[in-house]
């Protein structure tokens, strides 16, 4: 088996037990961050992931490539049997932040442990902003704000 030296990942075990073909399974760090990112995005009350610069650069990249990067705003450290995850999130205004964080931890832990077999030992959540509806392009109320007049 050839390996790519620049691909970081973790060998999770070898085959070769009774009835199995010998070999190793390596899960790249990007796999864990993608799984975690998707799980976070599926959580109610989470508006987006990543910091301001990361979101801005990601938005441009998404428009150019016509796809989204599910691992944006997610950093992982993967060991042989365990992983630690850091997530930067923007929450919706009015959402109970601690409850959203509990839900993020639960969803990410379930998804990563089920799909990879790695034990999630830590999930650090950094709430970097609150999204207020009507403040972004495409939200209601933008036409009024961009018209230059406070009243219509």
- Copy the structure tokens of residue 75: 């950093």
Number of H helices, E strands in the chain: 4, 6
- What pLDDT score does 37 carry? 96
Distance of CA 86 to the CA centre of its chain: 9
Which one, of 44, 27, 22, 143, lies nearest residue 101 by Cα? 44
Q: Say if residue 146's pLDDT is above 60.
A: no
SS3 category, 47: strand
For all residues of the chain together, what is the average pLDDT?
79
Q: For residue range 34-61, what is the model confidence (pLDDT) as tens digits? A: 999 999 999 999 999 987 544 444 444 4
- Among residues of the chain, what percentage have pLDDT more than 70? 66
Q: Say if residue 4's pLDDT is above 80.
A: no
State the virtual CA torsion across 92, 93, 98, 103 in degrees, nearest 10: -30
- What pLDDT score does 8 carry? 55
């Amino acid at each position: 088996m050839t390996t790519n030296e620049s691909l970081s990942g973790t060998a999770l075990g070898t085959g070769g037990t009774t009835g199995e073909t010998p070999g190793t399974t390596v899960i790249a760090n990007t796999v864990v961050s993608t799984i975690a990112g998707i799980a976070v995005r599926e959580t109610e009350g989470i508006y987006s992931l990543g910091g301001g610069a990361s979101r801005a650069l990601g938005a441009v990249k998404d428009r150019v490539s016509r796809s989204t990067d599910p691992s944006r705003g997610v950093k992982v450290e993967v060991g042989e049997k365990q992983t630690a995850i850091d997530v930067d999130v923007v929450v919706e205004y009015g959402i109970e932040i601690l409850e959203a964080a509990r839900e993020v931890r639960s969803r990410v832990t379930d998804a990563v442990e089920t799909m990879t077999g790695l034990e999630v030992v830590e999930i650090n959540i950094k709430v970097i902003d609150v999204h207020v509806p009507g403040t972004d392009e495409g939200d209601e109320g933008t036409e009024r704000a961009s018209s230059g007049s406070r009243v219509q």
